[in-house]
């Protein structure tokens, strides 16, 4: 064996060196570099779905279409800028950064009002940073020495020739320079310092900019300096190594290359991405703060908590956007480049590129090791090894970027590895073909014996046991199933159930749920296990509503078939119960036969929601826990109706219950009015105002979407139920200690 290996090694010893050497040379070509950037973007997009949220201190403020339509057009809204700074200072924000250019004077009074307001905001603790631009041509501010509080950076070592630079700069207007700090906004174009790839995506963020012989902070660095309260003397710049911010909490190191650029670890967007910075409209923020602090309106929604926050303001108006492609979006606000850079520094979340010498050195070692061990193996084994090598390196490159922000070059190493496999496998194929030809020559019409390879997947067998998980349990049952099951033949009943259960199961699985079991006509499912779903309650509610709408379509289909189905089938309805809570999920049963299922008191409560829905004239009922969890992730898209508080059989604590009415886009105005009247009636009911409650319930009854005698299969509704209960209590008042809780006597 070793003699064959030595012989093979002597024949193709050159293959790893040549293949990986050529790949390393290709890695320096522009086309491969652009492809490499693209693979990094794919990795960035992949990790966005489950990476942690950004630093909570960072906010994106967009001057968007809504703002432009409702307020004066940009950039003639300078008094608003000043007032926004004042309002934010009152609201506790730390830094307001304008990634916009206010480099020319317009209305002197408006400009001064803006600057005075920003100066006032600074006195009250809000630092304001505005944008400056490099310029190769002289500008209005080229000859000025009045830079306001902004200082150039003097504690600098290293070669400055590669630093992003220009002879001149377009600075903010004088009154604004005097009232605020500025930082340089722009980045070089592709073909300049190559910090932007040919697809227009910013890859490297210049942290300092050289204007003439002076070095100034970029907008990102200026924002960080203002956040930490640093002067220029507190910032140490070592070109090719790092920028060190000497904060009161200790030094904070920002790695930079020879061009003083930070390799941008781009993670978050503002819109249309799985992972985003909290974003608010300029108009919404300004008017909200104005209503709170100027008009002092008490009953308005509270503006977001911005205490200690850094706000990055940018332009995102149709036809006039400061936008470009990003690793996560085809059209992204460019201020997000600065915001991502700031997030990198605040969280210490830096991207690091693995040195090329390390990658190619390891590649050569593994290439020669594989050549020694595998070169004489079968073609099938070599192919398997090749696939395993590609998959393993892809997993390494993906995992390193996702979990550690280490950037492994992908395209060139894979190209070199694949080239090596072509050489090794090609040689092996030639050797085997020669052997077959020799055998054919020796044995004539020799047929090779049939080889049967059985691949048995090995692994740990399923075992009994489970673990605790927060889920939403789902129970559904057909109303009056026993009634119509007697009216159809067994074969037709199976046909009917298969059609119904298929629709239910498809919807459950489309929404990410897991089917637990069928119990006759009943469907039991769970959301949130075995795959964790943060929005499992919202998904369960949407599923229930989709199932009810699908059942409406099935009824219409069965009605269209005439007498093919008995009346109970044509009027078939299903009741669904939901509850969110902790359950034990896992493999349960005997040691020889078990299934993946769930069990807990919260699961039992979901079953009570389904069975109890009949008592309240509802078809989809859930607990308060499900409603709260649904609204946390789905907002107000799912419309609920309170149905009171109950104590289910087997429990002692009261549970608020709700009807899941529908999706917001499907709920009519009449139904919304019905819910409002019903809710008012419920308040009167709790207050023992039986007459007032009855009057409101009668009004809501007329608007109920499900009406007995009109809606197929409907015999009651919540308004009718509470009219009966209210009438009973009016005739037989409850005891003084009655708290409005209804105790269920049945399951």
pLDDT classification of 445: cutoffs 50, 70, 90: very low
With a cut of 90, say whether residue 626 has pLDDT above it: yes
Query: Given this model, what pLDDT does residue 696 score?
Result: 95
Query: Given this model, what pLDDT does residue 371 score?
Result: 66
Q: What is the per-residue pLDDT across 468-514, written as a single tens digit (0 to 9) for each?
A: 889 999 999 998 887 777 888 888 888 889 999 999 998 998 888 88
Q: What is the per-residue pLDDT across 113-162, written as a single tens digit (0 to 9) for each?
A: 889 999 999 999 999 999 998 888 887 766 666 778 999 999 999 999 98
Query: Given this model, what pLDDT does residue 72 score?
Result: 53
| Distance between CA atoms of residues 734 and 747, nearest Å | 23
- Pick the more confident residue, 421 or 64: 64
pLDDT classification of 191: cutoffs 50, 70, 90: very low
Residues 6+ away with beta carbon under 8 Å from 644: 616, 656, 657, 682, 685, 722, 740, 741, 742
In contact, 643 and 665? CB cutoff 8 Å = no
* The pairing of beta strand 235-238 with beta strand 242-247: antiparallel
Percent of the chain surpassing pLDDT 90: 42
pLDDT classification of 442: cutoffs 50, 70, 90: very low
- Positive or negative: CA dihedral 548, 675, 630, 476: negative
> What is the 3-state secondary structure of 708-733?
CCCCCCCCCCHHHHHHHHHHHHHHCC
Mean pLDDT of the chain: 84
Q: What is the per-residue pLDDT across 22-54, written as a single tens digit (0 to 9) for each?
A: 888 888 887 888 888 888 989 988 998 888 999
Query: Given this model, what pLDDT does residue 463 score?
Result: 44
In contact, 697 and 725? CB cutoff 8 Å = no
- Pick the more confident residue, 464 or 325: 325
Query: Given this model, what pLDDT does residue 592 score?
Result: 63
Chain centroid offset of residue 551 CA:
32
With a cut of 50, say whether residue 573 has pLDDT above it: yes
Q: Which residue has the tokens 């910013």?
A: 202
In contact, 610 and 576? CB cutoff 8 Å = yes
**Domains of the chain, with CATH numbers?**
2-37+354-443 (no CATH), 51-146+164-229+269-347 (no CATH), 465-633 (3.30.70.1230), 668-747 (no CATH)
| Distance between CA atoms of residues 504 and 523, nearest Å | 8
| Distance between CA atoms of residues 12 and 25, nearest Å | 21
274 closest CA partner among 349, 330, 339, 328: 328
- Pick the more confident residue, 150 or 10: 150
Query: Given this model, what pLDDT does residue 199 score?
Result: 72
Q: Which residue has the tokens 């069975």?
A: 611
Query: Given this model, what pLDDT does residue 71 score?
Result: 65
| Distance between CA atoms of residues 259 and 263, nearest Å | 11
pLDDT classification of 444: cutoffs 50, 70, 90: very low
Q: Tell me what the mean pLDDT of segment 169-190 comes to.
A: 83
Q: What is the pTM of this model?
A: 0.57
* CB environment 307-343: b (16+ within 10 A), e (fewer): eebbbbbbbbbeeebbbbebbbbeebbbbbbbbbbbb
| Distance between CA atoms of residues 342 and 97, nearest Å | 12
Q: Packing angle between helix 669-686 and helix 690-701, nearest 10 degrees? A: 170
In contact, 38 and 291? CB cutoff 8 Å = no
Query: Given this model, what pLDDT does residue 9 score?
Result: 52
Q: What is the per-residue pLDDT across 666-704, written as a single tens digit (0 to 9) for each?
A: 999 999 999 999 999 999 999 999 999 999 999 999 999
Query: Given this model, what pLDDT does residue 640 score?
Result: 96
Q: What is the per-residue pLDDT across 704-731, written as a single tens digit (0 to 9) for each?
A: 999 998 888 888 999 999 999 999 999 9
Q: What is the per-residue pLDDT across 372-413, written as a single tens digit (0 to 9) for each?
A: 666 666 667 767 777 888 888 889 989 999 999 999 988 888
Query: Given this model, what pLDDT does residue 459 score?
Result: 32
Query: Given this model, what pLDDT does residue 260 score?
Result: 92
Query: Given this model, what pLDDT does residue 301 score?
Result: 81
523 closest CA partner among 490, 559, 497, 545: 497
């Amino acid at each position: 064996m070793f003699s064959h290996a030595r012989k093979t090694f002597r024949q193709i010893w050159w293959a790893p060196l040549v293949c990986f050497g050529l790949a390393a040379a290709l890695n320096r070509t522009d086309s491969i570099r652009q492809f490499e950037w693209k693979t990094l973007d794919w990795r960035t997009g992949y990790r966005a779905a489950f990476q942690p949220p950004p630093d909570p201190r960072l906010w994106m403020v967009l001057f968007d279409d809504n703002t432009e339509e409702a307020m004066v057009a940009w950039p003639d809204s300078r008094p608003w800028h000043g007032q926004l700074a004042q309002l934010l200072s009152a609201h506790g924000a730390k830094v307001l950064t304008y990634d916009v250019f206010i480099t020319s004077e317009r209305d002197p009074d408006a400009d001064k009002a803006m600057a005075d307001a920003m100066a006032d905001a600074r006195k009250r603790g809000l630092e304001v940073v505005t944008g400056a631009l490099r310029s190769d041509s002289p500008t209005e501010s080229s000859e000025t020495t009045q830079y306001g509080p902004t200082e150039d950076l003097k504690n600098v070592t290293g070669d400055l020739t590669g630093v992003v630079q220009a002879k001149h700069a377009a600075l903010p207007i004088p009154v604004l320079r005097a009232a605020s700090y500025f930082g340089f906004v722009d980045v070089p174009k592709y073909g300049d310092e190559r910090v932007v790839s040919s697809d227009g995506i910013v890859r490297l963020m210049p942290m300092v900019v050289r204007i003439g012989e002076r070095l100034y902070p970029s907008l990102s660095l200026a924002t960080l300096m203002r956040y930490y309260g640093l002067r220029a003397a507190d910032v140490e710049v070592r070109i090719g190594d790092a920028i060190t911010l000497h904060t009161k909490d200790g030094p904070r190191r920002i790695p930079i290359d020879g061009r003083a650029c930070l390799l941008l670890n781009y993670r978050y967007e503002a819109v249309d991405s799985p992972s985003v910075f909290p974003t608010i409209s300029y108009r919404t923020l300004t008017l909200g703060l104005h209503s709170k602090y100027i008009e002092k309106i008490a009953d308005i929604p509270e503006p977001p908590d911005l205490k200690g926050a850094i706000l990055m303001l940018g332009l995102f108006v149709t036809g006039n956007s400061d936008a470009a492609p990003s690793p996560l979006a085809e059209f992204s606000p460019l201020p997000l480049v600065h915001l991502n850079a700031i997030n990198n520094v605040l969280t210490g979340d830096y991207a690091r590129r693995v040195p090329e010498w390390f990658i190619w050195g390891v590649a050569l070692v593994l290439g020669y090791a594989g050549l020694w061990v595998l070169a004489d193996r079968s073609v099938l084994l070599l192919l398997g090894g090749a696939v395993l090598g590609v998959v393993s390196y892809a997993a390494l490159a993906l995992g390193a970027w996702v979990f550690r922000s280490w950037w492994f070059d992908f395209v060139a190493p894979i190209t070199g590895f694949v080239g090596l496999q072509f050489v090794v496998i090609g040689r092996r194929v030639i050797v085997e073909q020669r052997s077959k030809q020799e055998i054919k020559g020796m044995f004539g019409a020799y047929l090779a014996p049939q080889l049967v390879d059985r691949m048995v997947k090995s692994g740990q067998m399923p075992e009994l046991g489970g673990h605790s998980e927060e889920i939403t349990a789902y129970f559904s049952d057909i109303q009056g199933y026993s009634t119509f099951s007697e009216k159809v033949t067994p074969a037709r009943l199976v046909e009917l159930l298969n059609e119904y259960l298929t629709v239910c199961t498809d919807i459950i699985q489309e929404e990410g749920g897991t089917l637990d079991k069928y119990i006759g006509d009943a469907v039991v499912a769970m959301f949130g296990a075995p795959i964790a779903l943060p929005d499992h309650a919202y998904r369960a509610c949407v599923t229930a509503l989709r199932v009810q709408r699908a059942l409406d379509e099935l009824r219409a289909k069965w009605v269209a078939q005439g007498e093919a189905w008995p009346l109970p089938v044509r009027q078939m309805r299903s009741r669904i119960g939901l509850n969110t809570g902790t359950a034990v999920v896992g493999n349960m049963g005997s040691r020889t036969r078990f299934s993946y299922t769930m069990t807990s008191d919260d699961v039992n409560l979901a079953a009570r929601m389904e069975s109890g829905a009949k008592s309240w004239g509802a078809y989809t009922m859930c607990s308060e826990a499900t409603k709260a969890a649904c609204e946390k992730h789905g907002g107000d898209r799912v419309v609920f109706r309170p149905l009171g508080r109950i104590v289910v059989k087997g429990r002692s604590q009261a549970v608020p219950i709700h009807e899941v009415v529908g999706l917001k886009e499907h709920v009519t105005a009449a139904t919304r009015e019905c819910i409002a009247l019903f809710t008012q009636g419920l308040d009167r009911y709790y207050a023992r105002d039986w007459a007032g409650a009855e009057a409101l319930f009668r009004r809501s009854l007329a608007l109920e979407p499900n009406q007995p005698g009109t809606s197929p299969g409907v015999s009651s509704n919540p308004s009718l139920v509470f009219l009966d209960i209210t009438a009973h209590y009016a005739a037989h008042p409850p005891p003084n200690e009655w708290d409005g809780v209804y105790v269920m006597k049945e399951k």
